[in-house]
Structure 1
Amino acid sequence: MGLGPRSMTSPSKDSLALAFRTQQSDATLFVVHSRTTDEFINVTLRASQPFVSYRVGREIHYVQDPKLYRGYNDNRRHILLFERLGPNCTLKVDSEPTFNYIAKWGKLVLLFQVSLFAFIVWP
């Protein structure tokens, strides 16, 4: 994640495109840890399903698309796309529909901002 605090990428957004091929049903596909903070991104297969965990600030988020039924340990090439924006993320594997994860406290912040905006605009 860079060579020092000034060279770090933006903490609010991460993007990852990962190609993998395996016959293992449980495997680590990608791991990155920040040298200056406790933040990390971890991509694994659990029971042949993609699973992503990441830390933003104090919260650790766990993401797995419940609609993915097929196993991805079929020794074929698969493409996993992961994008994080703040505490929320999207996860896409191959041509499957994109899975959107919205953190619980991310929703609360968004609702608070909308309510605050409505309060200011209201005469």
Structure 2
Amino acid sequence: MARNNADTFIGFLHALDATVPAGTDIHLVMDNGSSHVAKKTRAWLAARPRFHVHHTPQHASWLNQVELFFSTLTRRLLRRGQFASRDELAERIDDFVLAYDEHDAKPYRWTYDGSPLKTA
């Protein structure tokens, strides 16, 4: 994508809306990025009651951990991978996740206590 702004995000939401069968609720788990909380985005979502927004807490380090995992998956498997079919891709991802859980995954200990952060 050329820009990560409200218009680009709303374009994605339009595509999602067109793809998911009518009558099916759509739950979005999002951080508080500017494109997610822009007035234009909030208005678009408010006009579509099947969209249910769940914002992650500010300073949500767990979301960063998820992003790091997807970065690892991309670097180690997807970027240079060649897959003969969608089924093979899914199988290779499943194998990667199992191996990652077995050898690389480490427990994450939450340390943020919820108190306001100091500003510089």
The reply to whether TM is greater than 0.5 is: no
User: Which structure shows the bigger proportion of residues in helix conformation?
Assistant: 2
User: Which structure shows the bigger proportion of residues in strand conformation?
Assistant: 1
TM-score, normalised with respect to structure 2: 0.22
Over alpha carbons, which structure has the higher Rg?
Answer: 2
TM-score, normalised with respect to structure 1: 0.22
